RNA sequence: GCGCCCGUAGCUCAGUGGAUAGAGCACCGGAUUUCUAAUCCGAUGGUCGCAGGUUCGAAUCCUGCCGGGCGCGCCA
């Protein structure tokens, strides 16, 4: 990765120039914001000059005199108030392209200190259909897991299913009184939802029903055999259906350890927290106070209700224990919505009090809003099912594919699925995770502009050239990059490494999405400006190599977003 | 009341200390008997919510204000 190599060289130059770096000062090199000046740039001289109270340009000159980058750069210049601008040489670029081509991970270097990272995402509820609200956690989590794996971390994905909520009181009561077994067989989730909604409505008008539901729940929690059996059936039926969706989405988990998995660990956990003095009795409930943290001083974390029941935080604490003990987790990433920020702050504080050193990160994201700009609530009745969105996306893609020639119906179906699902994923991942956005069919399913089909089309264009190519052409490493469009593409390709690593710095898939969009855009421009097959000799060879490299980076990059590619469209 | 997040082009959004703030959509003008146009080239469009401050340099950092969203003990 050029950025780190140049940073290292810069560091050495400081040393050779005899410049003592102040505590905490790290020279940085970044991708140039304006390519007129160069490919990479550094503001280290300006930043340091401020601290040392010297002239930035003179300091820059001192550094450049000691800088050894002749193997990488054809030019290093000092511009403006003291920017260092690096222009890569053709040979270094060509070498990097050839690395991308032969490397298993397309030139993305591994981290020097790999970690064991648990990624907790998706977490749908049992007996409820997945809706558009699940899109964010599922796609962001899946993408982060893929990127973390690529850069060398050991990643454990865990779907912390909501399989033990209070909603089971209603489902149990409904199962026993109004369940339609034929309907259950046909579409389990739909029937369970119907039952849940019907009973939920009854509880609003009839307090006796509510009471019955509570009793059913207590019986379940106390281990009543019949209720437990019904619960198991619900879980099994729901998991089946979830697996189907995840299969369609190409999202996979190493574990499905739902809330229920931790049931028997909760009582001893609360006891130990109490006996160690971390938790205390307050207003009948057991909670952990954070009197030493001003912002949390009046916001205790409840771990046991006054009626003896356990809570969200209790299960999460038990889950942390498990992940540390069984999986030796160094880090845990929770891909959960921003409204739960307080919950996680409390959770992390409790963990800290217990002396746990695992690094925990709440990867928060904004809300998908309804057309009214309010939260997209499940019970509002307006929520759109995830399946419906995916089906609609594939149908729209299919309508476009239909007009293409030379494809069989089966191929058209497959292509439409890849594009449809890719479009939905890209709509999410190309967005900053903290931004709230209104759900819109058109936005989610757009096939034009900055969308998955645009990127996939760029990939298809790289492939079609090779299909037309006679025989096997030996791609040499001697590249002749002369046209601006060629050089722009080569530079873009080299930056895949930086883009991939940037995703993990702040858990931001959209940085990779915009990189890939820029790459596709650069390729499309190159494609118009530089004929490949009609060119000859070294020029043709160079262009073929650029196409081949683009092909690999697009496929790998889209793969990191969880988006599949197709050879034709 | 306190805490967190957000406010950038008509719309949807990138950009979190660097050089002239960028895309997509929409609108307007061009390019095609194609290495498959789901494409390309160009034009129009912005006191980056407001006001101060720090800095050689601020959409970006700090303070205050305005507007919107979310959260703040027995749901998850």
Gap from A232 CA to B53 C1', Å: 62
Tell me which DSSP letter residue A77 carries: E
Q: Rounded to whole angstroms, what are the CA distances from A294 to A58, A354, A355, A360, A361?
A: 47, 19, 20, 21, 21
Buried b (16+ CB within 10 A) or exposed e, A433-466: beeebebeeeebbbbeebbbbbbbbbbbbbbebe
Q: Rounded to whole angstroms, what are the CA distances from A342 to A159, A299, A346?
A: 21, 9, 6
Nucleotide minimizing C1' to CA distance for residue A398: B38
Strands A30-31 and A279-282 come out as unpaired
Gap from A434 CA to B21 C1', Å: 21
Q: Decide: A360 and A106 in contact? Cβ < 8 Å.
A: no
Closest-CA residue to A386 (of A183, A193, A124): A124
Nearest protein residue to nucleotide B16 (CA to C1' distance) is A506
Instruction: Please give the pLDDT value at position A561.
Output: 97
Nucleotide minimizing C1' to CA distance for residue A166: B75
Nucleotide minimizing C1' to CA distance for residue A466: B35
d(CA A180, CA A498): 55
Gap from A532 CA to B29 C1', Å: 29
Instruction: Please give the pLDDT value at position A127.
Output: 83
Q: How far is CA A272 from the centre of its chain?
A: 36
Q: Rounded to whole angstroms, what are the CA distances from A180 to A173, A194, A195, A431?
A: 13, 10, 9, 42
Nucleotide minimizing C1' to CA distance for residue A535: B35
Q: Rounded to whole angstroms, what are the CA distances from A560 to A154, A160, A197?
A: 16, 22, 38
d(CA A101, CA A493): 11
Instruction: Please give the pLDDT value at position A341.
Output: 94
* Structure tokens, A487: 């050089």
Q: Taking the domains of chain A in order of start, what are their residue ranges? A: 2-87, 165-237
* A2-87: CATH architecture: 2-Layer Sandwich (3.30)
Gap from A261 CA to B50 C1', Å: 52
Gap from A91 CA to B63 C1', Å: 51
Gap from A519 CA to B35 C1', Å: 19
Gap from A35 CA to B66 C1', Å: 39
Closest-CA residue to A238 (of A171, A337, A295): A171
Nucleotide minimizing C1' to CA distance for residue A34: B19
Angle at A30 between CA A26 and CA A31, to 5 degrees: 175
Strands (E) located in A30-135 = 30-31, 40-42, 73-79, 83-88, 116-120
3-class DSSP state of A428? helix
Gap from A342 CA to B68 C1', Å: 20
Instruction: Please give the pLDDT value at position A205.
Output: 86
Instruction: Please give the pLDDT value at position A179.
Output: 94
Nearest protein residue to nucleotide B73 (CA to C1' distance) is A302
Backbone φ, ψ for residue A93 (5° rounding): -65, -45
Q: How far is CA A477 from the centre of its chain?
A: 35
Contacts with A71 (C-beta within 8 Å, 6 or more apart), sequence order = A92
* Structure tokens, A270: 């609360």
Instruction: Please give the pLDDT value at position A379.
Output: 45
Instruction: Please give the pLDDT value at position A439.
Output: 84
Nucleotide minimizing C1' to CA distance for residue A43: B18
Q: Rounded to whole angstroms, what are the CA distances from A561 to A143, A226, A251, A388, A416?
A: 5, 44, 11, 21, 18
Gap from A203 CA to B71 C1', Å: 27
How crowded is residue A253: how many other Cβ atoms within 10 Å of its Cβ?
21
Nucleotide minimizing C1' to CA distance for residue A369: B69
The residues that bridge with A155 in the sheet, in sequence order, are: A117
Contacts with A168 (C-beta within 8 Å, 6 or more apart), sequence order = A127, A216, A217, A220, A231, A234
**Size of chain A in residues:** 569
Strands (E) located in A94-243 = 116-120, 154-158
Q: Taking each helix axis from N to C terminus, what angle separates A496-505 and A2-16, rounded to the nearest 10 degrees?
A: 80
Nucleotide minimizing C1' to CA distance for residue A453: B38
Gap from A47 CA to B17 C1', Å: 10
Instruction: Please give the pLDDT value at position A477.
Output: 64
- CA dihedral (A242, A137, A355, A280) in degrees, to 10, reads -80
Q: What is the ipTM of this complex?
A: 0.95
The helix or strand, by DSSP H or E, that contains position A437, with its residue range, turns out to be: strand A437-438
d(CA A350, CA A20): 42
Each residue's pLDDT, cut to its tens digit, for chain A (569 residues) gives 999 999 999 999 999 998 888 877 888 999 998 888 899 999 999 988 888 888 889 999 999 999 999 999 999 999 988 999 999 999 999 999 999 999 999 999 999 999 999 999 999 998 888 888 899 999 999 999 999 999 999 999 999 999 988 888 899 999 999 999 999 999 898 899 899 889 988 888 888 998 899 889 889 988 899 999 999 999 999 999 999 999 999 999 999 999 999 999 999 999 999 999 999 999 999 999 999 888 898 899 999 999 898 999 999 999 999 999 999 999 999 999 999 999 999 999 999 999 999 999 999 999 888 777 777 765 445 678 899 999 999 999 999 999 888 899 999 999 999 999 999 999 999 999 999 888 888 888 898 899 999 999 999 999 999 998 876 677 776 788 989 999 999 999 999 999 999 999 999 999 999 999 999 999 999 999 999 999 988 999 999 999 999 999 999 999 999 999 999 99
Nearest protein residue to nucleotide B72 (CA to C1' distance) is A299
* Structure tokens, A411: 């191929």
Burial of A430 (0-12, 13-18, 19+ CB in 10 A): buried
Nucleotide minimizing C1' to CA distance for residue A522: B40
The helix or strand, by DSSP H or E, that contains position A187, with its residue range, turns out to be: none
Q: Decide: A107 and A99 in contact? Cβ < 8 Å.
A: yes
Instruction: Please give the pLDDT value at position A383.
Output: 74
Nearest protein residue to nucleotide B6 (CA to C1' distance) is A435
Instruction: Please give the pLDDT value at position A16.
Output: 92
The residues that bridge with A385 in the sheet, in sequence order, are: A131
Q: Rounded to whole angstroms, what are the CA distances from A44 to A16, A98, A216, A455, A465?
A: 15, 31, 66, 35, 43
- Nucleotides of strand B lying closer than 7 angstroms to a protein CB: 2-6, 12-15, 17-20, 23-26, 35-41, 55-57, 68-76
Q: Is the dihedral of CA A41, A47, A50, A53 positive or negative?
A: negative
* Structure tokens, A104: 């298993």
Gap from A450 CA to B53 C1', Å: 39
d(CA A286, CA A271): 10
d(CA A134, CA A513): 20
Contacts with A307 (C-beta within 8 Å, 6 or more apart), sequence order = none
What is the number of helices (H) and of strands (E) in chain A?
21, 13
């Amino acid at each position: 990765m050029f950025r780190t190599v140049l940073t290292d060289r810069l560091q050495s130059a400081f040393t050779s120039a005899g410049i003592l770096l102040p505590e905490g000062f790290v020279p940085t090199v970044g991708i140039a914001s304006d390519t007129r000046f160069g490919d990479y740039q550094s503001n280290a001289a300006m930043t340091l000059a401020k601290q040392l109270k010297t002239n930035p340009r003179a300091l820059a000159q001192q550094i450049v005199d000691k800088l050894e980058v002749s193997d990488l750069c054809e030019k290093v210049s000092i511009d403006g108030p003291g920017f260092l601008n690096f222009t890569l040489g053709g040979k270094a670029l060509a070498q990097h392209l050839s690395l991308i081509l032969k490397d298993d991970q397309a030139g993305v270097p591994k981290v020097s200190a790999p970690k064991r990272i648990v990624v907790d995402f998706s977490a749908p509820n049992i007996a409820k259909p997945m809706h558009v609200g699940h899109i964010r956690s599922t796609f962001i989590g899946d993408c982060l897991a893929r990127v973390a794996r690529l850069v060398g971390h050991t990643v454990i994905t865990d779907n912390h299913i909501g399989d033990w909520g209070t909603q089971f009181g209603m489902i149990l009561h409904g199962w026993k009184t109004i369940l339609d077994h034929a309907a259950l067989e046909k579409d389990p989730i739909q029937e369970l939802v119907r039952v849940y909604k019907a009973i939920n409505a009854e509880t609003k008008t009839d307090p006796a029903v509510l009471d019955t539901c509570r009793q059913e729940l207590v019986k379940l929690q106390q281990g009543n055999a019949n209720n437990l059996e019904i619960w198991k059936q619900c879980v099994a039926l729901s998991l089946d259906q979830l697996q189907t969706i995840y299969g369609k989405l190409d999202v996979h988990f190493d574990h499905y350890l739902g809330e229920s998995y931790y049931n028997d660990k909760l009582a001893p956990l609360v006891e130990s927290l109490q006996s160690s003095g971390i938790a205390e009795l307050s207003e009948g409930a057991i909670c952990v106070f954070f009197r030493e943290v001003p912002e949390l001083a009046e916001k205790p974390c409840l771990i046991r209700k006054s009626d003896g029941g356990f809570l969200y935080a209790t299960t999460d604490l038990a889950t942390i224990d498990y992940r540390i003990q069984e999986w030796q987790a160094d880090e845990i990433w929770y891909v959960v919505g921003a409204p739960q920020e307080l919950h996680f702050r409390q959770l992390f504080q409790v963990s800290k009090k217990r002396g746990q050193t695992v690094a925990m990160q709440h990867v928060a994201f904004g809300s998908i809003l309804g057309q009214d700009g309010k939260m997209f609530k499940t019970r509002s009745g307006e929520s759109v099912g995830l399946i419906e969105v995916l089906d609609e996306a594939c149908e729209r893609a299919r309508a476009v594919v239909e007009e293409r020639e030379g494809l069989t119906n089966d191929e058209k179906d497959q292509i439409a699925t890849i594009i449809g699902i890719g479009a939905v994923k890209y709509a999410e991942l190309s967005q900053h995770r903290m931004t709230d956005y209104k759900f819109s069919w058109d936005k989610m399913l757009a096939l034009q502009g900055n969308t998955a089909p645009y990127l996939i089309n760029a990939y298809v264009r790289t492939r079609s050239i090779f299909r037309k190519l006679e025989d096997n052409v030996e791609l040499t490493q001697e590249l002749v990059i002369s046209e601006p469009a060629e050089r722009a593409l080569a530079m873009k390709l080299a930056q895949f490494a930086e883009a991939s690593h940037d995703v993990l710095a702040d858990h931001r898939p959209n940085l990779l999405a915009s990189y890939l969009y820029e790459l596709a855009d650069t390729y499309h421009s190159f494609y118009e400006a530089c004929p490949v097959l009609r060119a000859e000799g070294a020029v043709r060879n160079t262009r073929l190599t650029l196409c081949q490299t683009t092909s690999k980076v697009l496929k790998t990059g889209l793969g990191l977003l969880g988006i599949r590619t197709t050879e034709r469209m």
